[in-house]
Structure 1
Amino acid sequence: MKTSIRDLKRKRASLLDEAEALIASAEAETRDLSEAEQPEYEKRMAEVQRIDRQIEIAKGRETGERAAEARSLGDADAAKAEFRAILRGETRAMEAGTDADGGFAVPEQIDRMIQAQLLDVSLMRRVATVVSTATTDWKKLINTRGASSGWAGETDARAETATPQLAQIAPPTGELYAYPWVTNHLLQDAFFDPEAFLSENVLDEFAMQEGAAFLTGDGADKPKGLMTYPTAATADAGRAFGTMEHMVAGAAAAVTPDELVDLIYKVRAPYRQGAGVAWMMNSATVSKIRKLKDADGRFIWSDSLTEGQPARLLGYPVIEAEDMPDMAADGLPIAFGNFRRGYTITDRMGMTVIRDNVTKPGWTKLYFAKRVGGALTDSNAVKFLKMAAA
């Protein structure tokens, strides 16, 4: 009898919990694993690896079974047909697309299309690091203070150098969902377009919710937003990890070109290079900034000459994020830095859909869900301009 992917994942999670319990017990007593514990730990981790292989085989088997039906169609058309069948509640499609965590898995090609469109409409995704994970417990170790180094001659004594300090980042995650209704007549229509339905009823809602969470989310069953971390007017070397730097403007509701230049150079040179370096502000702030001129009377704002590319301010692209605050006393309306190094978004792979055609006769409710997380990963990478007190 074949074991389902759901059961394999449950067994894997149980084994990992047991292995982590052994580690936690040893760490609580500030010791290594004992001679008795080490084989138990290795046994569980070996079993996890064996289950991982079983999961991959099971996934491949499911993919092969569905591939036979798609040979006469292009991959994209086959994915659309499968997704349309899931939404309509056709039994074969629903059995083939059952997800391990409940509901029905959105076909991979449709899921990739959703992710691609989210990249276009979710502004933070354009500049932040986006990581796809198979679980919700993604973690990252970061070095909050690098090991020191030095120079020495061939026979000189080597002084002991500082030990790097590590911190673990585990972005808070939550279930991002949309819950649209659709009439059964529309679902059964031969011209029903699942891609258009997703764009109009799911993607825009996802983008709006994500945009707010990546900046202002409190970390409770949602990402922890960039704007929710503490800030201080302290240079990088003097701040604790997790506290971001702000520079105080000279006025409560206006900025000068010189202040914007100063903010750029608050970000150290290595961070000002590569992808993800940008300004971030809302439209109200943009309307003020784009009127600023330098000492020679030239505008410091440059409109893009290429469709789809952002405008530039002092040479760097501008991301208009409406969830950034307006210019007001003590506010943080402008951010600049390397968002790719500063903020990480985690996407659990796969979206599920649950259909309900019982609650309201003649209608079908469709519950689309995906798990998304986000957190600050380098508090030196992005700086804020803080308005003066009133």
Structure 2
Amino acid sequence: MSDFIAKQVEAKQKAWHEAKAILDTVEARGGEWTGEEQAKFDALSADIDRRNEAIELETREAKVAEQIQASAINFKDATVSDNESDILRKMAAGELRGHTFEQRVITGSSTGAPVPTSFYNEIVKVARLVNPLLDYATVLNTSGGENLQIPSQSGFSTATIVGQGSTVATSEPTFNAFVTLGAYKFSALAQLSRELILDSGVDIIGFLAGQFGNAFGNAIGDKVVNGTGTVEPTGFLTAAATGVTGSTGVSGAFTADNVIDLIYSVDGALRSLPSFALLANSTSIAALRKLKDTSGRYIFDVADSVGRRDLVLGVPVIETPALPSPATNARSLAVGDLKSLYIRNAGGLQVDRSDDFAFATDLATWRATWRLDSRLVQTNNIKVFRGGAS
């Protein structure tokens, strides 16, 4: 563990203990918050969130460094070709009109130095920070966008005790209709001045990756969660079964008992999987941090080491901004096996440039296109909490 991460973990634990002390004080008073207490608690919660993000980013960078070191052995000579910054600058100069950037693994250059990332990978890296579901779902990479059919199982084979010499009864698994994944086109625009692009000291890949990564991460994250399936991906909230419905008269709020019931509404075999997690947005996570069980213990635990996530009743919590906040009839929490969510990535990332779109301002306009689809293949593998009707 690096010193930086160790300090972040220690500071996060300290902030969490301070936040719990405030909650205990408010509860002892009967649940009435002072303005100072609310402001202090919100500041501590925000500090915990920032440190979680810093730990996750540092951990990602450490993994990339390990991959670079591992790939620096036994390189073969390769033909020198334009790197992706050169390709982008050629597009800016009008020598290229478009280019498809494919996903790349770590490779070696002709000098033996590793090339750890590509433009495609840089965009995906930013998109994953914005939309963490890209890290946990089952991602299928295909070269084209033709329909892809995924089998969905509704029942398993069964076993029975059979006497000596008796016939073994036939028992076959049962299947739902195939789940079909297509390819919906997501596009984003970014603009740069010609002087900035032609300046060799400017990190074009970093700038454009940040712009497109944030744009795609937000747009895809919303549709993977809330998409209707009509001219857009089918979000898992559309397909997931309801595990628990909240009480009426509380504006969709959930209780500790609701959370317990939601977690145990999912098949027990799934709860032991490493891909089992609880999804919530920041508003819901703030509410989860305040909940106690019948013994007065908080159901929320802040991660105390690197590589671990915050936990609710032992279940990892993944902040998912696209999920709704608690409200009447809103599906504000989801829990289940995230590998049951399939995201189909069709082809590479297509980037095109136009000088005509913003000709009067001498700006080059860049358009990035990413085609994908998503479906929850096993609809009972993720359950949601639905707020009460009033």
Letter in 2 for 1:383: K
* CA deviations over 1:41-61 (Å, ceiling 9, x no partner): xxxxxxxxxxxxxxxxxxxxx
| Residue pairs, 1:164-243, within 5 angstroms | 164-229=174-239
* CA deviations over 1:320-349 (Å, ceiling 9, x no partner): 2222122222222111111112x1111123
Structure 1 residue 163 displacement after superposition? 5.7
Aligned to 2:26: none
Aligned to 1:339: 338
Aligned to 1:142: 152
Out of 250, 269, 277, which is 2:247 matched to?
250
1:151 maps onto 2:148 in alignment: no
State the distance in 2 between where 1:185 and 1:158 align: 77
Residues 119/326 of structure 1: CA separation in 2 closer, same or farther (3 Å cut) = closer
In structure 1, stretches of 5+ residues that fail to align are 1-66, 71-77, 230-242
Aligned to 1:74: none
| Residue pairs, 1:1-390, within 5 angstroms | 68-70=79-81, 79-89=83-93, 91=95, 94=96, 103-106=98-101, 108=104, 109-136=118-145, 137-161=147-171, 164-229=174-239, 244-251=241-248, 252=250, 253-306=252-305, 309-341=308-340, 343-361=341-359, 362-390=362-390
Residues 156/129 of structure 1: CA separation in 2 closer, same or farther (3 Å cut) = same
State the distance in 2 between where 1:366 and 1:193 align: 15
Structure 1 residue 379 displacement after superposition? 0.9
The answer (yes or no) to whether the contact 2:183–2:346 under 8 Å persists in 1 is no
Letter in 2 for 1:178: A
SS of residue in 2 equivalent to 1:144: strand
Moved more, 218-227 or 147-156: 147-156
Using structure 2 for the length normalisation, give the TM-score.
Answer: 0.69
SS of residue in 2 equivalent to 1:210: helix
* CA deviations over 1:169-200 (Å, ceiling 9, x no partner): 11243111111111111111121212221233
Structure 1 residue 166 displacement after superposition? 4.4
In structure 2, stretches of 5+ residues that fail to align are 1-77, 105-117
Structure 1 residue 89 displacement after superposition? 3.9
* CA deviations over 1:285-311 (Å, ceiling 9, x no partner): 222121111223221111123467532
The answer (yes or no) to whether the contact 2:253–2:326 under 8 Å persists in 1 is yes
The answer (yes or no) to whether the contact 1:132–1:349 under 8 Å persists in 2 is yes
Structure 1 residue 352 displacement after superposition? 0.9
SS of residue in 2 equivalent to 1:262: helix
Aligned to 1:29: none
Letter in 2 for 1:360: A
Structure 1 residue 115 displacement after superposition? 2.5
Structure 1 residue 116 displacement after superposition? 3.2
Aligned to 2:108: none
Letter in 2 for 1:69: V
State the distance in 1 between where 2:199 and 2:236 align: 44
SS of residue in 2 equivalent to 1:180: strand
CA RMSD in angstroms, aligned pairs only: 2.4
State the distance in 2 between where 1:372 and 1:79 align: 26
Letter in 2 for 1:170: T
SS of residue in 1 equivalent to 2:195: helix
* CA deviations over 1:267-296 (Å, ceiling 9, x no partner): 111111223211111221222121111223
State the distance in 2 between where 1:296 and 1:149 align: 42
Letter in 1 for 2:244: M
Residues 86/371 of structure 1: CA separation in 2 closer, same or farther (3 Å cut) = farther
Structure 1 residue 123 displacement after superposition? 1.8
State the distance in 2 between where 1:313 and 1:163 align: 34
State the distance in 2 between where 1:258 and 1:123 align: 27
Using structure 1 for the length normalisation, give the TM-score.
Answer: 0.69
